[in-house]
Structure 1
Amino acid sequence: MATVTSPARSRATTYPGWFFLPAAIIYGVLFLAPTFASFYFSLTRWTLFNSTFIGLDNFAQFFREPFLIKGLLNTVIYAVISSGLKVILGLLLAVLLTSQIAARGYLRSVVFFPVLVSTVGVGITFTVLMHPTQGMINEGLAALGIKGPGWLVDPNLALISVALVDVWKGVGLATVIYIAGIVAIPKDYYEAARIDGSTSFQSFLYVTLPLCRPATVTVITLSFIGGLRTFDLIWAMTRGGPGFSSDTIASVIYKQYQAGFYGLSTAGNVVLFVLIAILVVPLTMLLNRKEGHE
């Protein structure tokens, strides 16, 4: 027997779909169109007024340039260091700030405050603090009889130094995410663990850590993507120097734009887009799959 769908019911199921239209238009204009345009212009030698199709020559030149490959490698190193430390420190701070300590509300504000500060402002401030001879950090170490390193002038330390500043600025957001995850854990689990004789460390290891996995997935994903896309902090502190030792792919792309190599820099943007997709999508799928099996 055929089922007759009333006009009112049909309108009820199709009408809400129109609410997606404004968002779809904005998404298409501001994201999809520029993305496809970038893919096209990466295959051209272009200026503001004309373009010449040259195929994959920009990509071939990109992978022939040693400093571009260095920037690509630095990007991955930076993302791994910054995201890894944010996960570890964010979790430890969240455990501390959800315990019964005095002034924990104030301490939460203090931890989150750097997230609200301008990244360029943080970069300029730490550039002064990390000055090799007149910076407050090395002067403090000198007062303890320790010779401070050249944080931003040593090619072996510059990238790591900026990554540590990034961790200082961003760990507050990771902490807030972890606090939300810990607070959402039912107290019954901790009471059961305490009845079974678990220590505080065992409760953390077998209750807090597994049940905070959704927060961990969120922090890893956001921090890793932010690390791969980093530009403003690097540019404010080192300009990619000394030499190319702290260049990331985003700062290299910016330098190519400054030099007028628009097609090459657009190809770099495409490479960065593909790099983020290759690294982040499988990582997110892996983390979510493990979460679903537990």
Structure 2
Amino acid sequence: MTKQYAGPLSGPGAPPGHRHARSPAKRRSAYPYALYLPAAVVYVVIFLVPTVMAFYFALTRWTLFDSTFVGLDNFRDFLAEQNLRIGFQNTIFYAVATSGLKVVLGLLLGVLLTSRLRLRGFLRSVVFFPVLVSTVAVGITFSALLRPDTGLVNKVLALVGVDGPDWIGDANTALLSVALVDVWKGVGLATVIYIAGILSIPQDYYQAVAVDGGTAWHRFRHVTLPLSWPATYSVIILSFIGGLRSFDLIWTMTRGGPGFTSDTIASIIYKQYQAGFFGLSTAGNVLLFIIVTAIVVPLNHFLGKRQVAA
């Protein structure tokens, strides 16, 4: 029997062929981590550095050329803003309404556009098209369509004997009108996510339901709905974050009006910028960042646990 060598694989006592066996492996192990470097640099420059600077400038009264440290005064003044309570309520309502409608409509459209429709490809393009349009252009267009006297929406309603309201000029309908326009613009992205989720479901499940004599409702209830949960999870998180941070569509259509009835936290922050209170508005941005984080992180944890369970 040949005696096997049991000595060290590296060092002076190692066989010649094994002395440097680990060195190439160590060099190779650093290779995949080097691929992270460009993304890490972009992340630090684009996100971390501005975030740290925002936290600092929120503690100052600053202009383009000067800053004075004032501590927590900006946060106290922003929290004392008389319209902040209305803005917070509107922000939560807007986020819940838009994300909920995008989930429901996105799922229904996703089911429809994965069925055997003759014009399926064309309809997918039509549904996704509003996502590609500028938000400002959408806001300006719908502001014209929703005018009480000359708007196309009220003219169509008048043909069936309905007297349409002043959609964006009435305090009772302004925020809801903007939310519905937001859903119209964003539901295409939710639909695409659902289409991808539904197409990834193995056909074996649908065949099993068919063998058991199940109907289309049974296929949807017991296969599509539960197995498309990862898509639902993504749509909820993305839509809710977008709703909490929404500004451009609201500002384009209502500017927070009439009065302050459709103000959100983001529009209140922008009004402080317009008034020249840069430190105050920066503090508002920091508070909005904290609010979004405080809401989304637990929501993400809850939905993530349910996703694992599903």
TM-score by length of 2: 0.92
Partners of 2:112 and 2:30 in 1: CA distance? 50
Q: Tell me if 1:11 matches 2:27.
A: yes
Match of 2:69 in 1: 53
The 10-residue stretch of structure 1 (43-52 or 160-169) with the greater mean CA deviation from structure 2: 43-52
Gaps of 5+ in 1: none
Match of 1:251 in 2: 267
Cα deviation 1:76-134 (Å, max 9, x = unaligned) = 11111001000000000111111122211111111111111111111000000000111
Would you identify which runs of 4 or more consecutive aligned residues in structure 1 move more than 4 Å?
1-5
Partners of 2:131 and 2:42 in 1: CA distance? 28
Q: CA deviation at 1:58?
A: 1.1
- Of structures 1 and 2, the larger Rg is shown by 2
Partners of 1:153 and 1:104 in 2: CA distance? 38
The amino acid across from 2:199 in the alignment is V
Q: Tell me if 1:35 matches 2:51.
A: yes
Q: Tell me if 1:278 matches 2:300.
A: no
Cα deviation 1:234-253 (Å, max 9, x = unaligned) = 11111111111111111111
Secondary structure at 1:45's aligned position in 2? strand
Secondary structure at 1:66's aligned position in 2? coil
Cα deviation 1:108-164 (Å, max 9, x = unaligned) = 111111111111111000000000111000111111101101110011111110000
Secondary structure at 1:29's aligned position in 2? helix
Match of 1:145 in 2: 161
Residue of 117, 120, 124 corresponding to 2:136? 120
Q: What is the number of equivalent residue pairs in this alignment?
A: 294
The amino acid across from 1:130 in the alignment is L
Partners of 1:29 and 1:139 in 2: CA distance? 51
Q: CA deviation at 1:22?
A: 2.3
RMSD between superposed Cα atoms in Å? 1.3
Residue of 60, 63, 87 corresponding to 1:71? 87
Partners of 1:2 and 1:39 in 2: CA distance? 55
Partners of 1:207 and 1:107 in 2: CA distance? 24
TM-score by length of 1: 0.97
Map 1:1-294 onto structure 2 (within 5 A).
4=10, 6-294=22-310
Gaps of 5+ in 2: 1-6, 11-20
Partners of 1:106 and 1:48 in 2: CA distance? 50
The amino acid across from 1:151 in the alignment is W
Partners of 1:15 and 1:196 in 2: CA distance? 53
Cα deviation 1:181-226 (Å, max 9, x = unaligned) = 1111111101101111222112101100000000001111111111
Relative to total residues, which structure has the larger helix share, 1 or 2?
Answer: 1
Cα 1:62–1:2, aligned 2, differ >3 Å: closer, same or farther?
farther
Q: CA deviation at 1:2?
A: 6.3
Q: CA deviation at 1:3?
A: 6.5
